[in-house]
Amino acid sequence: MGNLQAMEMLRDLAQRSSDKAVEDLGRLQRQQQDVERQLEQLMQYRDEYQRKLHATLASGVTSSQWRDYQQFLGSLEQAIAQQRLRLGDQQARVESGKRHWQGEHRRLNAYSTLHARGERELAHRAAKHEQRTSDELAAQLRRRQADSRHS
């Protein structure tokens, strides 16, 4: 019985750990979505800025305006490159979170299986004990009936 309680405690701990891993993975995935959204916004902003630049070039720009446009576009490209790096890092964290959750889930399944096996074994032993007791009572009853016939 104590072994079954210990297994139940381990299963409960594994359940909590698995639940936490799921929460952590969800948080990591939401963070990844935020990083992806920010990257998309930067790229859209760059594209809009380039369209405006092309429209402005048609009417002519000074060399200092051209230099300012080029510097700003360079800054945007740098920001996009940094955001792509952040996205790669976040994707790696998500993958790590997935592996962690999968390990916790496997551990939970193992403890759940062992606990269920222990419960089945305990129920089987209880049934055997009940059957043995019933058989003994039936045998005693038959002996009494046989003794009362012989008397």
The structural domains of the chain, with segments of one domain joined by +, span 2-150
CA separation for the pair 112, 116 (Å, rounded): 6
Task: Calculate the CA 47 to chain-centre distance.
Answer: 37
Consecutive 10-residue runs of the chain (151 residues): their mean pLDDT?
83 95 97 98 95 86 89 96 98 98 95 89 90 90 83 67
Q: Biggest alpha carbon distance in the chain?
A: 131
Long-range contacts of 116-124 (CB under 8 A, 24+ apart): 118/3, 118/4, 118/7, 119/4, 122/1, 122/4
* CATH of 2-150 given 1.10.1060.10, 3.30.1330.60, 1.10.287.1700, 1.10.390.10: 1.10.287.1700
Question: What per-residue confidence (pLDDT) applies to 19?
Answer: 96
Distance (Å, whole) CA 71 – CA 87: 24
pTM for this entry: 0.73
